[in-house]
Every structure is written in C-alpha cells, then in structure tokens.
Structure 1
Amino acid sequence: MNAVEIEEAITLLAEQPFDAESFPFAFLEAFGNKETTLKRLKSDKKGSTNASDLKDEGAVLQRNNIHILACLEGETASTLTKLRESPSTAKAKAKFILATDGKYFEAEDLISGEPVACDYDDFPNHFGFFLPLANISTVKQIRDSSFDIRATSRLNRLYVELLSQNPDWDTAERRHDMNHFMARLIFCFFAEDTDIFGGQNLFTDTIAKMSESNSSNTHEVISEIFRSMNTKQNERKEAGIRSWADTNFPYVNGGLFSGSTETPVFSKIARSYLLHVGSLDWTQINPDIFGSMIQAVTDEEERGSLGMHYTSVPNILKVLNPLFLDDLREQLKEVGDSPRKLLNLRKRISNIRVFDPACGSGNFLVIAYKQMREIEAEINDRRGEVNDQSSIPLTNFRGIELRDFPAEIARLALIIAEYQCDLKYRGQKLALAEFLPLDAENWITSGNALRIDWRSICPPTGTSVKVVGDDLFESPLDQAEVDFENEGGETYICGNPPYKGTKNQTKQEKEDLKAVCGRYTKRSGTLDYVAGWFVKAAEYAESSKADYAFVSTNSICQGGQVPVLWPILYGLGQNIKFAHHSFKWRNLASHNAGVTVIIIGLSKENVSKKRLFQIGEDTEELEVTTSIIGPYLIPGTEVIVEGKTKPISILTPMSLGNAPYDGGHLIIESSEVDQLGLSNDEQVRWLKPLWGSTEVINGKSRQCIWIEGSDLEEAKKIKPIKSRIDSVEEWRLSSKDAGTRSMANRPHQFREMNSSKESTIIIPIRSSEARAYLPVDLYDNEARVTNLAYALYDAPVFNLAIISSKLHLVWISAVCGKLETRLSYSNKMGWHTFPVPQLTEKNISDLTKCAEDILLARALHYPATIADLYDPETMPENLRQAHERNDEVLERIYIGRKFKNDTERLEKLFDLYTQMTSEKNNKVN
C-alpha cells in the first residue's frame, strides 16, 4: 500500500462506529497487513503471533511493530503507560504503542519518544506518524506532509468522479479546462481557510447552502462564484452577479478566474467529495511538496502511484545550498549588524533570479523562494524593519514546464508560498491587505524547454520580456500584461530535468536533443535527454551571469557519454563548481528504492575551492574541497577517457561475447537437456556450456547448440537439433530488423562464433558495487560466452590478476557506465583504456602467480560460487589475503608501494593514461 491508500483506509476506520475488540486488527489492516497475518494475530490457539502479555484485556502486539490496546473511556493515558511498562513491549521490540477509548487517542514512537495525542476523530491527521508500520521509511519532514497526502487523496476521488460524470471533459481537447478547474478549486480551498475570502469556509459553505442536495445545480453555483471573483466590485451589478456571490467573494483577477467559467456537472457523490475536501484545514498546505503530489491527480499514467510524488526538501537543498544559498548565508554571517552591509545584501537578494527550465509543479522555485525570504527576514530583523514589504518579487522565480497543469500549479504554489511567508514574517493583517487582487504577470511558461530560447523567459539584466509562453491561468494574455522589467543581477538555473537514455527517447525527444547538441557533435544520439539542459544552460551562461545545477542521471559522467558531452561544456567555458556523487533521490513510495542520481553544479567562473559531496558510511554526507572536479566527479583531474578498439598497453584485446539472435532456440536450460533425447556422445558433440554474467556469478552454466559450418549437415540429421535450427530460421525471417533477417541463412549459429583454443577468461557485464573486487573467472576451451559478458580468448593468465585488482575496480567505477549504482563493465571504455606500465618478465611472472593463487583459494571452497565467495560479509580470509597480495604486487609496479587510497590510485591512473595516449607511438584509434 502507498501513503494515499493508507490514509484512505485510516479515514474510513475513523468514520466507522468504534468497536474496542476489532479496532486493533482494523488499524493494522489499514496499514497493509494481510488477512492471513491478522488471522494469526487473532488466534487464541498455539501458534498465535500476538505477543502481548495483556491479551486478556484485548491487547494486540505485533512483533517489531506495535502494541495496541483499546480501553475504557477516560483511561487512555493510564493504558498507554501500561503498554509502555509491559515486559512484552520491550521483548517483542515494538516500535509504537497505542491506546484509545474511541473518544481520545494516544500513541508513542518508542524509538524517538515522539507522542501523538488527539481526539479519536482526528487521528487520521496523524497517519504519517505510523507509516513505518507499512515499511515506508520516513523522516519527520515527510511525516509533516500528512495534510498534503490527505488533500491529494480527496482531490483524486473528486477528479475521478467528475471525469466519470463528464466524459467529454476527459478528452485531450478539454483536459486543460478540467485541470484549470482543479487549480481554481485549490485556490478557493486555501483562500477560505486563510481569511483571504474574509470568512472561514466561505466557499465550501456557500456551495453547501446554495446548491441542491441532489447536486443538480452545483455546477451553476460554482460557476457563479468564479464569475464573481473575475469581476470588479463596481462592475458586478452591470454583469448581473447574483447577490450571494457578489457580497461574499472578493475580486481575485490574476487570470485565475478569467475566461470561461464553465464547470463540470456534479453528481451527488462528487458534491459530497467537494464538501469533504473543503472541510480540511487548508492552512496546513505545504507548497514545497503539494504541487508534485497534486500533479499525479491529473495524470492518468501517474495516478496509479498517487502519493509517491514527493521530492524531499533536503534533496532539493542539495542543489540550492551549494549553488547560491550557502553563499548568501555566509555573507549574512560576515556582515553582522552593519546596516549598510545588510542593505546591500538585501539589494543583492532582491536582484537574484532563480530559473527552473523543467519546473514541474514548482518545488525548486518554491523552496528557493522560502529560503530567500527567511534570509531576508533575518536582515530585516537586524535592521529593525520587521514589517516591511518583501523586496523579493515572485517574478524573479521563472520556470518552463512542458505540461500546462503542472505549470499552472507551480504559479499557484508560489502565490501560496508568498502569502505564507508574508503571514509568517509580517503578520496576518499586512499579508491579507496586499494579497488581492493577484497580478497577471506571467513568469511560468508552458512549453518545450529544449526548443525555447531561455533568454526570452529569463532575459539578461535590464532587458524586458520579448517572448512569452501561454499564461498559465488563462491563455493567452495580452503582451502588455506580461512585459515587465528584469533587473536581476545574478541568475541561478536549477531543477530536475527528465532523464531518458537513447533507447527510451521518442523521435521528438531525439530531435530536441539534436537541435540543442547537434551543432557541437555528430554523436548527440548517444546522449541522455538530460544533457540538453546542461548544454542550454551553458549557452545561456555565455551572455548572463549565471551558475546552474541540475539533478541528473549519473550516465552523463560515465562511459561513452563523457567524451561527447563534456568537451561541449568545457568549450562553452564551463567548470564544475560542485557535485554530489550518486545517491538515491527517494520519494514517499512504500519499499521505494528511489532513482539513482548525481547533482552537478557548473559556473563560468573558475572558483578556487570546489565542493565534492559523497555519501560515506552510515549514510553520512562527506564533503571534499578541491581545486578541480573532473567530469567523472574525481578531484584533481579533468582528463576525458575516449573508448579504444585495442588496448593502449600490453593487455590482451577483449571482445563482447557471442550474440545468439535465436528467439531462444539455440540456448538450452540445463533442465531441458534431457528432453532433447540426445545420447552422451551427441551432447558432447553438439552442446557447449554457455556463460553470461548471471552464470559466471552464480556458477551454473546453461547449454547451447554449437555447430561449426562444416558439421551442419551431420547435425541436421538429429531431429531435435534440426527442429530448433528451423525455429531459429523462422524467427529470424520474421524479424523487423534487416540485420537479423540477414542471419537467417545460417540459423544454426550465433551471430558471432568466437571461442578459445585453450582457455577463456570471462568478465560479467554488470555486477554489484558491494563486492570488493570485480567478478571474473577462468574456463577451459569448451566454454562459450554470450553477449552478456566479455571474453579474453587464450590470454595470458596475468590478465586475470589485473582484472581482479582493486586498481582496476576503481578505474571501472570511475570511467564506465553504471546501471543505477551497479558496475557496468566495458571493454572499449574500461579495459582497452586501462593504463598499465611496461611490464618485465618478472612482473608478468609475479602477476601470473597471484592470479593462480586467487583461483586456488576459490577452489578450496568448492562448490561456493563467486556470489558466495565475494559476499562482503562472508568473504573467506584466504581469498581476501590472495587478493591483497595481488593488489600489493600490482601497485608496487606502478609506484613502488601500495597506494594510500582510491583517490591516489585514480590520480596515478589518469596521469598514466594521459601520458600513454599522448605518445604518438601508443595512439590507438
């Protein structure tokens, strides 16, 4: 269950009549416990999983989770104490205790000591407190978003119901109207609970009072309210605004209610949902995250993951802090209480523009705005100007978003954030006095960011807006309404653009990327979609004082993308200012591992102290200060590694394994061999052990039909083999790929037919980053390799020693691509580029002995697999020692001693790579 589903279940439980006996089980069911689990908890027989020592009183204790007891009225406090002191609570390692009498509700997080105490009807507002019960890892900041999840859940119900009643609004032509209607509702719910409308629950109560209970005129009532808020008071009589809408609702303007006021027709259920949404306390809305949640409501593809669209504030601050907020705070610290210096800092802040060219629903912009208002408030406090109007205009927070509804929500979120900041720093009276009417300036544009000139959205200093996108509250606005002067001094570009690898890009996206990067490289087709934002930002920074930082897939700093993208960025004068190594960009999904990302901040200014962040042990964030950060996010070097078709050193050339292109007919699972009915001699003759990444790591091969050309006629005499060959031919001929069809004339063979005469070293393409060494193994000449692994055929064994080294592992980790954080091996990028000094016969002999010792150490633990042997928790000591000896022997060849750390290893390897590739005699195309 996700967070929204849990909230709905908890709300339903609170609405039902309280039953002390069933409550503990109903509560656990709401957090995703299955019927079989609850049945074992309910059982009073042997085998019951209820670990409570208070069973006779009706208590339920689920091990490692919660101890619950429903009690008599007025006894919640004493019951909670009883649960806390219960020996079974500690013995069963309960995380929570909970007591309720159906009137009052009390609970405690036993790990943090945080309590909850509220009326029973109100406990759904605290459902986020209990999310760990559903294995949803939370932090306090996520728990505090409970209201946003509840509001999203209710709006989703309303949205779905309205679409079912108004199918014509569920079309591409009307989707904008429906989304625009939802934005209007959100504003009204917020405005009525914050006295912007001048009365608590005014909007909701008016609908309840003026619409029929059967909902027949609900749409007409809402439409009239919207019409009133778009009409100035002195024009309402002439416009014929109904008296109940005229006297109660203010003029809002800002384009939010302009244009058509057509409203979808409401069913009785939809009317009920609307009133329910309005009954929530919208003063609790958190514009930092609400936008990204509500975005899912209106996106059919995303609605299934409703409640998971949460981008944490700490993650966003990983971008904004080193980009510019840390600098502002440092300057605030330096100026102290000097009135003049404080004023200069405030002027600087008022001229800063924050621009998100993939803004979604505005998370980055909202958080940047709130952080800057906090700094400004401290300045005003030190200057004794607490109630002064903010000098930070919302128009300094610019955005581009492809879809119109998120862009609409982004503007609305900024408006709400501005009001909340005014309320916090200036008080309710001033906040209300200056809130309405909204202005009509458009600073969020809906459009394709890779096709729009960013200077038209966020022009250089002193230039008016010349080109604008559609107004997000009613499009289009007249040009006069959207032209406003940009007096920004600094521009900071930030955000989380879309990342799509080449295989997942649409034709349009490929064309977008070519339009941006094609003028610099013929290889734009190899880049991730996010690369377009980096190049556009670099171009923007050529004519503006602008630094930028994006959350990105780590692919742009790995493998073949580095030599394509980074020469472009360097050529445009950019330097890495700060970076975050790979980490999980988590959201609020249950069991969600998050997307693996990096953060890269760049600047035209080559600052002397660059900041490199990485996750250390116990998830603690570590910071390294360095003068250079290279494109592989390595301190001290900006070298770019180009893939090679042949090794730059003494190493044996490595090739990708054999691609079957067979529809599965040439490959045989071990369990299927007997079904072929082959004799032992026929199996030896026509079947070969087949190894790929999974097989090498898990120590169990599959089989494959392997027929050399001259043996075909003899092999086809065997019916099971002929049948499979015929199936391959049929499969290849039916392919849409011309290359695959061309192989139909030799259906008995893989695309490649490479094998060894004596031995084969096989290296998996992908492997876990948790292992201390790369997986690799040595096989005899019977082994055949799939294209899911790399092979060295008949190579000297010292090659295995080098692959097995820590030195090679750190090189692969740095320059090759990764799938999430898993290592992705590459022959051209990782092996052929690996710099090895000139080896003497003694060096080769020593390394050969090391490789043999590693293989012998493994053999002593037969039948343990590589997966077993290289588990970081259980790696055998003799194998570990064999690897350590191998590391020492190899590293002494490089510098005469062991390297101190991985940083030193990489510095040496990049230096040596530069030397070897710059020497004419060693250049390899």
Structure 2
Amino acid sequence: MNGDFKERLRDFVEWWRCYCKGDEKGEAQIFLDRLFQAFGHKGILEAGGTLEFRIRAKKGVNFADLVWKPILLIEMKKRNTDLSKHYEQAWKYWIELIPDRPRYVVLCNFDEFWIYDFNYQLYEPMDKIKVDNLPEHWGALAFLLPEVKKPVFRNNLIEVTAGAAEKVADLFKSLIARGIEREVAQRFVLQCVLASFSEDIDLLPKYLFTTLVDECLRGKSSYDLLGDLFRRMNEPGETAYGRYKGVDYFNGGLFATVEPLELNTDELNLLYEASYKYDWSKIKPAIFGTIFEDSMNQNERHATGAHFTSENDIQKIVYPTIVVPWRNRIESATTIKELNNLLNEIWSFKVLDPACGSGNFLYIAYRELKRVEKSIIDKIREVRIRNKSKNREETGLSFLSAANFYGIDISNFAVELAKVTLMIAKKLAYDELHVHEDVLPLENLDDNIICADALFVDWPEVDAIIGNPPFQSKNKMQDEFGTEYLHKLRSSYSRIPGRADYCVYWFRKAHEVMKPNSRAGLVGTNSIRQNYSRIGGLDYITQNNGTIVEAVSNQLWSGDANVHVSIVNWIKGDFSGRKKLILKDKIIDDIGVITSSLMPGVDLNVTKTLKCNENSKGCYQGQTHGHEGFLLTPEQAIELIKEEKNLDVVFPYLGTKDLFVKKNRLPSRYVIDFQSKNVVEARAYSKPFSLIMQKVLPVRKKKAMLEQERNKKILDIDPDAKVNKHHNNFLRYWWRLSYAREELIEQISKIKRYIVCSQVTKRPIFEFISSRIRPNASLIVFPFEDDYSFGILQSSVHWSWFTAKCSTLREDYRYTSNTVFDTFPWPQTPSSENIIKVAKASRELRQVRDFLLKENNLNLRELYRTMELPGENPLKKAQQKLDYAVIETYGFTKKDYLEELLNLNLNIYQKEEEGQHVLGPGLPNITTISYNDVFSDDYLKME
C-alpha cells in the first residue's frame, strides 16, 4: 500500500495512544469513525455504515455498535474485556442481519480486534490484531478499504485442515495405486490420522508419531515402528518402558485390527509433512472427515474444502433442535433438585444422524451438549453458593459420552471417519471445559455408528434426530441408484409419492420413528416444501402431530454451491413457544404457525384444483424433442423447405434463451415435427424423414434395449413390479418428438398467436408468439390470443400466486400447471369495461416494452432487471397501470392478493361442487365487446 495509507494508520495508532481510555459508551463511536478515516473513508456515515444499529431481541431491541452492510458488523467492549465472553452475542446479532448479512464480524476492546468470518469458521477468529500493530498487520482488515480487498488471515483453520487432509488423502491414493487392499489402506490411514491428532492434543507423548515417521525416513521400517505403536495403542494399561513409554490404551475399535504397512519414501514424506507441518490441535474435526473423503475421491490433487458443510450451517440444525430446548429448561430451573433432574436426563440424552457421513453433525452436537452439561453444573454451583448450601461438593462432567451418539451411513469409510471424529471430540471437549479426568480409553463406537442403508434398517430410539440426508432429485434417482434400487425404495415406501425427492424419505421415516416430544432437524432440497415432495414429507409431519418450530425457507447450502436447501426443525407434539421462520430477506419471530410450505401468511396448501381450469386446455409445457437429431440450423431448414411440402413438418423452434437473451427474440433453431403422422405418412417427407432415421433411430433402439434389460432384472425378482417403458414407447414412434404435445399444437393451430412464459424464471415476463413457431419444453404455453388474458397472466396478481404455488429450481421459480394454473382463480364478475381496460393496459405495456428494448438495445432479461432498481422506470409505470386494472376487475380491496385469491379459489370450488356456473381461464363471452377492443396484431413472428 502507498505511504499515505500507512501514515494514516500510524496517525490513528498515535491518536489511540494519546486519547483512548477504552470507555465503551463514551468513545466507541469516535474510535470507529477514526478507524474508518484511517482506512481511507471520510467517515462511517459517508461510507454507508450505521452506528447503533437496531437489532431485534427476545425481549425488546439491542443495538449493534456498527453495521456496514454487506461487509461488516463491529461490536465494541470496554478496555480489558475478555472478548471470548462476547462471541455468542456477536453471533446472535449477525444471525439477525438479513438481508445483506455482513460477511465479517469484529469484536474490539479498544486494544485488540478479533475478526470472524462466521460463514467460513464459526468459533475461532480468523485473526487477532493488536491496535498498536495495525500499521504492520492491517491485512486482516483489508475489507475496510474503500475498494474492498480480500483480507489476509493468519488463523485460517479451514486452510490448515484442508492442507493436512490433502496430504493424508494423497498417502491413501498412493497405497491404493500400488495394490494395497482398500480396507487395509483406509484403516491404516485412519490410524495415522488419530495418531497425528493425539500427539498434538496430548493423548500420545508429544512428537512421538512425527519422530517415528522421521526415523522411518532415515532408514527404519514403518512396518515395525508404526505397527508397534498402533499395537501399544490397543493394549490395556499404559506402556511403562521402552520406545513407546507413556502410550496409553486407546481402544475405540480403530486399533482392534493392526495391519502394518511398509511405506515407500514418497509416502513417508507425505505422512511426515502431514504430521510435522500441521498443528493438528488446530485442525477442525467437524470438517476434516468431509474434506479428507472428498480429496481422496478427486482425480486431481487438491483439497479445497469447497464441499464441506460449514459449522454455521450445521448449527442451524443443532442449535434449535438440541441446544435451545435444553437452555430454556435450564433457565427455568431454579432448585437443586430440578437441576439435578436435568443433569440425569442429559446423561441419557441420545442423538442420531441417519445419514452421518464423516460425523460433522454428530461432532458439533456432542460438543454443544457437553457445553450444555457444563452450564447445568455451573448453575448447580451458583444455586448452592446463593443458598449457602453446606453440601457444595463438585459434580463431575464426564457422564455424557460419545456413546450417546448414533450414526448410520451407506459408506463404510465414512462410518470409520465418523468414529474417529467422535473420539477426538471427547478430548477437545474436555480441554475446552477444563475437565480434569482421563479421556482414555476412548469409547468403542462400533455398535453406535453402523454401515447400512438407513432407509432399510431399524433406527435406534433417540431423543433427537439431526442431519443432512442425501440430495438427489426425483429426476436423477434412477440414473444415480439404478432401476432395481428405485423399485425397492418405492415398494417399501409406497406411502410417499413416487415423484418426491430422495431426501423426503428421511423426513418421513424420521417422523414415523420419533417418540412423543422428541425433536428432529434435517436439511432437504428446497423442493421439500413444494408439490409431491411436500406431500410425502412436511405435509405428513404437520398433519401427524408434528410442529415445525424453526425453519429456513430457502438458502444456498455450504456443502455444494449448486444446491439450494430448506432447513426444518420440528417436534413430535404440541409446541407453544417461539417459532422462527428465516426467509431470504427477513426473519419472522413468534410466527403463529410455520406451514409445510415454509412460508408466512396464508396457507395455500388448502387450495383446490378447479375443474374449470383443469379442463380449459389453457396451459401446457412446450415440446420435448428428446434427441438433437430433430433440430436444424436455419441453413438446414432453408434447404429443406425449398421443397414446399416440407413446410408441413419443419418449424421455427423457440426456447427460453432465444426469447429472453437474444435481442430480436426469434428462434435460432428449427425442428422436424411429424406430430401424429404414422411412419408411412412421415416417410412421404423423404429428406426430413431420412435425417431422423439416420440420427435418431439407432439411439432409440439402443436405449430401448438397455431399458428392457433393466426391466427384466426387476421382473425376475417381482413379476408384478411397475417398470419404466418410456424408451420402448419412444422406439415405437421413433420418428416423432419424445413429447410432441399434440393437444397443445392442435390448440395453437386454431389461433394466430399464443402466450408463453419461461418455465423457470426469476421475473414475470410473458410474451405473444406466432402460432407458426413451435415452443420447446423450456416454455409454458397458454393458448389464448386475446389481450385480456395476457393482462391477467402478466399481472402482479397472477405473479403472486405463481411464486406462492410453484416449485423452485435453486432460487428461480418453476411454473407448474397443476399447482399454479389449475388452482389460479380468474375474475368471476368482470364487466365489459373491466375487460377492455385490462386489454388496453396489456397492449400499452407491450408497446412500452418494445420501445424500451429497441431504443436501449436491450434484451428482455436486461430490461426486466432494471425493474429491480430504484427510480423512475416507464415499464414499472405500465405494469402498475395494468395491475390497477386487474385488481379492479377482481374487485379486490386488500393489499394481500393471496388471501383474496385463496378465498376466491375456495368459493369457485364450492360453486363447482354445487353445479353452479363459474368463469374459467380466458376471455369471457361478452357480446358487448368488439374484436378490436381485446385483440391486436403484435406478436413475435418469423419474417
């Protein structure tokens, strides 16, 4: 950095030395303002920060000293304050700060900055900087600069953990590459891992393992030295003499079998680097296993930690499901008897993770419960002192053990990792809580954590179920698991809709096996709150004595950057306490009911499918070609349609990208579509037919054959099994598109234009398309050609229903005809004046839109992104005018469209049940309206 910056930092430190007394109330604001000035800002307010930022609390309001979204939260404490005691306060403040939650959190006592990144490293500061060292060590606060720079931290334990995991994983891969049996290599490497931890956390004599590896590098045999060490670790009692003096009995199951290996020089170097270069006392067991397992499976040598689940995300399960209920009970207990009862209960409290992986969730649950156990003991001590009790004997802190924790996983290696993780947890918890008792021998967890498919074994009876079940969408389950497994799954869980996502089976089984008043907290794909997945899981839970007490509706999961999840914590029974729902842009405390949709407000799960909509032929998904052989470039299409009759089967083919990303919004591909023609009729179009026969037929033959082979295996086991036949059906009509949507094509062929929207979208964008153009499956099609219908669909009224009733793909909304269109109530008493007003407003909106696109050289997506910005926008005005006309047509009086739409949906349904007349989708048949009032000629068409 330049000299001026360093000089400003030195000036700040000099000011601090001369004038700062460390008074939290009197000096915090000026201290922070001076700090911002030192980093190049005019001041906090000019930078956009807020002093004394209001944060909701359980009782009243708290005030954070500084919030500078989305970068920083700072909490000041007076001089000489132990900042570690205020960590939890800072974390609770940070949790509440949505939207735009700050990335970094700083605790400061006027002499020292403790810098946290809770998304990355939950408990330990990423760095600590003395104020008087700021000119030299400002890098950890680099995010304070006007042009934010990536901070440089000196206590990045994630990087330390990933580095150590990579070395050990490379050792494992080397063993496998030279022919060592996988099970032997796994056990040996895990024994090395536990030994590396143990020598740095005082379970083995200091440096013993590293020294042994060094001696092997100098010519001695790892078969002898390491093999003998592992045998001593499995012998009862402490080794009294010799080379292994001081080695205690570990047990733990891991050393029950010792198969020593003779390592080559490269392998010894990897092991030495792992044990010597890294301080294993700083390695994070909560993520080590996942990173280790991930890096073992990489084709390239790296272990970035990109796929581990952050401790902060794990806490979103552990904290509300386990910690909060216990803390509430401790807070309300006032007598020694009540507290002793709690202590006895926690000693028998059991936790299960039925998809435990390498033990991340179990590790954090163990650590948190040990802290809860200590808080009970501390309170017993406080009550005894307050009551001047003569009986003040200390209560031990060793009864809650790793044996209280259970796990199931389908991967044998993950199971072994989980055992090691929990073994280490015991020692680290004892050190943190200053428990002066022997840690060794470790518990043998072979009966607690087992290798099995959790969906097909009995689960132990426990008090809490936590975890992160496998993410697999319903569409990929067959490819991932195979037809046989899928048949077994659906046969065993026929009570769950076949179109539910895989994680739903864990939610369902968890609730079925839970005992009364026990709790569960699970992570699921965000589809668990939608459609078939919701029906199979959360609907069942809430309808069968389950109460959701805290949930995250939708968030990006730290375990995989491409997965959006929902987090649900529930109790099997009634719950009258505070319920909390976390949305993307706000947190709702004390919500009365959290519905199975994990949304506030009106419960739209009670909506009804309307016959007038379902039978209207008013909503379809576009065509699925199923094979690239059906698609043509414009040049290929022009060549084919030189023969005029081919116009019958060659069409422009429009997809979402063409419509929303291209500036002319026109198709870039064509499609060969024989519709319902039989093979003889299709053969008459010789050139198009020949293309399909060459490109599509061989592939469909092959896929049908593979499907038959898979089905035979299933039918041999169960002759009554339901098997997939869609590839066989595709072969039967191989010259046709996979899903040609004959009914849709028939509907649009009767009209000049039709309405489309993207099936998956973030924004409400509808458009008229020429009926000569074929829509592909990325589009939802509404075969209406009138401006009134367009206006209803383009309105905010329809959008609010769409976003509330649809499914989602990551953060985008997915239009689903059965849940959105089939339930959406259209206006029931529109006057001719209303209809004309809506039609006119919809035309004007399209005119404004077309003008803005052309004048500003934008595509539709770019134009609609401007709607999200503050300030004047002609398109916003046009949309508002349309919305007013639609609201007036409905006769709505409230701002909450959803409540009024729900009431209208139920009202229409009741009328249909009674045989009364209702209005379905589309333009009502009103004779006083002329053609020109509701029809126009603006639509996308090929020249």
Cα distance change on mapping 1:374 and 1:359 into 2, 3 Å: same
Looking at structure 1, the residues matched to 235 and 143 of structure 2 have their Cα atoms a distance apart, in angstroms, of 45
1:355 aligns with 2:352: yes
1:802 aligns with 2:816: no
Question: Match for residue 910 of structure 1?
Answer: 902
Preserved contact between residue 554 and residue 597 of structure 1 (Cα < 8 Å): yes
Question: Match for residue 233 of structure 2?
Answer: 229
- Partner letter of residue 527 of structure 1? A
Superposition pairs of residues 293-332 of structure 1, within 5 angstroms: 293-299=291-297, 306-332=304-330
Looking at structure 2, the residues matched to 329 and 789 of structure 1 have their Cα atoms a distance apart, in angstroms, of 51
1:168 aligns with 2:172: no
Task: Report how far residue 598 of structure 1 moved.
Answer: 0.4
1:396 aligns with 2:401: no
Task: Report how far residue 252 of structure 1 moved.
Answer: 2.0
1:194 aligns with 2:194: no
- Partner letter of residue 183 of structure 1? L
Preserved contact between residue 648 and residue 922 of structure 1 (Cα < 8 Å): no
1:522-579 deviations in whole A, cap 9, x for unaligned? 66421111111111111112x4542212100011211343344455435543333332
Question: Match for residue 822 of structure 2?
Answer: 832
Preserved contact between residue 370 and residue 421 of structure 1 (Cα < 8 Å): yes
- Partner letter of residue 658 of structure 2? E
Match of 2:574 among 606, 619, 622: 606
Match of 1:850 among 841, 844, 848: 841
- Partner letter of residue 908 of structure 1? E
Task: Report how far residue 678 of structure 1 moved.
Answer: 5.8
Between 601-610 and 805-814, report the one with greater CA deviation.
601-610
Cα distance change on mapping 1:398 and 1:666 into 2, 3 Å: closer
Question: Match for residue 381 of structure 1?
Answer: 378
1:98-129 deviations in whole A, cap 9, x for unaligned? xxxxxxxxx99999996679xxxxx9xx9999
Match of 1:333 among 331, 334, 337: 331
Looking at structure 1, the residues matched to 129 and 498 of structure 2 have their Cα atoms a distance apart, in angstroms, of 54
1:581-620 deviations in whole A, cap 9, x for unaligned? 1101125xxxx74521001223221324563433444xxx
Question: Match for residue 913 of structure 2?
Answer: 920
Looking at structure 1, the residues matched to 765 and 686 of structure 2 have their Cα atoms a distance apart, in angstroms, of 39
Count of residues in correspondence between the two structures: 760
Preserved contact between residue 650 and residue 836 of structure 1 (Cα < 8 Å): no
Question: Match for residue 931 of structure 2?
Answer: none
Task: Report how far residue 375 of structure 1 moved.
Answer: 2.5
Looking at structure 1, the residues matched to 826 and 464 of structure 2 have their Cα atoms a distance apart, in angstroms, of 43
Cα distance change on mapping 1:818 and 1:113 into 2, 3 Å: closer
Task: Report how far residue 151 of structure 1 moved.
Answer: 1.5
Looking at structure 1, the residues matched to 167 and 609 of structure 2 have their Cα atoms a distance apart, in angstroms, of 57
Question: Match for residue 878 of structure 1?
Answer: 874
1:757 aligns with 2:778: no
Task: Report how far residue 868 of structure 1 moved.
Answer: 2.5
What SS does the corresponding residue of 2:461 show, helix, strand or coil?
coil
- Partner letter of residue 342 of structure 2? L
Task: Report how far residue 910 of structure 1 moved.
Answer: 3.4
Task: Report how far residue 885 of structure 1 moved.
Answer: 2.1
Preserved contact between residue 763 and residue 790 of structure 1 (Cα < 8 Å): yes
Superposition pairs of residues 388-537 of structure 1, within 5 angstroms: 388-427=396-435, 430-431=436-437, 433-436=438-441, 438-439=443-444, 442-454=447-459, 458-459=460-461, 491-506=463-478, 518=491, 521=494, 524-537=497-510
Question: Match for residue 596 of structure 1?
Answer: 564
In structure 2, the gaps of 5 or more residues are 5-36, 48-70, 72-112, 118-124, 131-135, 382-392, 704-726, 921-943
1:780 aligns with 2:770: yes
Looking at structure 2, the residues matched to 190 and 298 of structure 1 have their Cα atoms a distance apart, in angstroms, of 19
Looking at structure 1, the residues matched to 338 and 899 of structure 2 have their Cα atoms a distance apart, in angstroms, of 43
1:364 aligns with 2:369: no
Question: Match for residue 694 of structure 1?
Answer: 657
- Partner letter of residue 293 of structure 2? Q
- Partner letter of residue 282 of structure 2? Q
Preserved contact between residue 509 and residue 529 of structure 1 (Cα < 8 Å): no
| Identical pairs, percent | 22
Looking at structure 2, the residues matched to 306 and 417 of structure 1 have their Cα atoms a distance apart, in angstroms, of 23
Looking at structure 2, the residues matched to 748 and 381 of structure 1 have their Cα atoms a distance apart, in angstroms, of 68
Looking at structure 1, the residues matched to 502 and 799 of structure 2 have their Cα atoms a distance apart, in angstroms, of 28
- Partner letter of residue 262 of structure 1? E
Preserved contact between residue 295 and residue 302 of structure 2 (Cα < 8 Å): no
- Partner letter of residue 324 of structure 1? I
Match of 2:187 among 141, 158, 180: 180
Superposition pairs of residues 238-277 of structure 1, within 5 angstroms: 244-245=242-243, 247-259=245-257, 261-277=258-274
- The normalised TM-score by structure 1 is 0.72
1:623 aligns with 2:617: no
Looking at structure 1, the residues matched to 494 and 909 of structure 2 have their Cα atoms a distance apart, in angstroms, of 22
CA RMSD across the alignment: 4.6
1:382-406 deviations in whole A, cap 9, x for unaligned? 3337772333222222111111222
Looking at structure 2, the residues matched to 720 and 561 of structure 1 have their Cα atoms a distance apart, in angstroms, of 45
Looking at structure 2, the residues matched to 801 and 354 of structure 1 have their Cα atoms a distance apart, in angstroms, of 54
Looking at structure 1, the residues matched to 126 and 168 of structure 2 have their Cα atoms a distance apart, in angstroms, of 33
Between 626-635 and 494-503, report the one with greater CA deviation.
626-635
Cα distance change on mapping 1:800 and 1:137 into 2, 3 Å: farther
Looking at structure 1, the residues matched to 253 and 835 of structure 2 have their Cα atoms a distance apart, in angstroms, of 76
1:668-718 deviations in whole A, cap 9, x for unaligned? 3x46556x3865988978754322222222313134256778999999899
Task: Report how far residue 218 of structure 1 moved.
Answer: 1.4
Question: Match for residue 14 of structure 1?
Answer: none
Looking at structure 1, the residues matched to 839 and 687 of structure 2 have their Cα atoms a distance apart, in angstroms, of 43
Preserved contact between residue 200 and residue 281 of structure 2 (Cα < 8 Å): yes
1:293-344 deviations in whole A, cap 9, x for unaligned? 22224445797665223211111111122223222223333446x4444333
Question: Match for residue 12 of structure 1?
Answer: none
1:219 aligns with 2:223: yes
Question: Match for residue 691 of structure 2?
Answer: 724
Task: Report how far residue 855 of structure 1 moved.
Answer: 1.4
Looking at structure 1, the residues matched to 822 and 179 of structure 2 have their Cα atoms a distance apart, in angstroms, of 60
Looking at structure 1, the residues matched to 578 and 536 of structure 2 have their Cα atoms a distance apart, in angstroms, of 23
What SS does the corresponding residue of 2:433 show, helix, strand or coil?
helix
1:131-169 deviations in whole A, cap 9, x for unaligned? 999x998998993433312221221232233333xx332
Looking at structure 2, the residues matched to 557 and 244 of structure 1 have their Cα atoms a distance apart, in angstroms, of 62
Preserved contact between residue 162 and residue 305 of structure 2 (Cα < 8 Å): yes
Match of 1:343 among 340, 344, 355: 340
In structure 1, the gaps of 5 or more residues are 1-50, 55-83, 96-106, 118-122, 238-242, 461-490
Looking at structure 1, the residues matched to 430 and 211 of structure 2 have their Cα atoms a distance apart, in angstroms, of 27
1:205 aligns with 2:211: yes
Looking at structure 1, the residues matched to 440 and 116 of structure 2 have their Cα atoms a distance apart, in angstroms, of 44
Preserved contact between residue 387 and residue 425 of structure 1 (Cα < 8 Å): no
1:549 aligns with 2:524: no
Question: Match for residue 629 of structure 2?
Answer: 664
Preserved contact between residue 201 and residue 281 of structure 2 (Cα < 8 Å): yes
- Partner letter of residue 877 of structure 2? Q
- Partner letter of residue 459 of structure 1? E
- The normalised TM-score by structure 2 is 0.71
Looking at structure 2, the residues matched to 831 and 884 of structure 1 have their Cα atoms a distance apart, in angstroms, of 22
Preserved contact between residue 697 and residue 731 of structure 2 (Cα < 8 Å): no
Looking at structure 1, the residues matched to 354 and 288 of structure 2 have their Cα atoms a distance apart, in angstroms, of 20
1:160-213 deviations in whole A, cap 9, x for unaligned? 33333xx332xxxx322221212211111122222222x21112213434x362
Between 739-748 and 444-453, report the one with greater CA deviation.
739-748
1:327-370 deviations in whole A, cap 9, x for unaligned? 2223333446x444433333333332221111111111111221
What SS does the corresponding residue of 2:852 show, helix, strand or coil?
coil
Cα distance change on mapping 1:139 and 1:637 into 2, 3 Å: farther
- Partner letter of residue 199 of structure 2? E
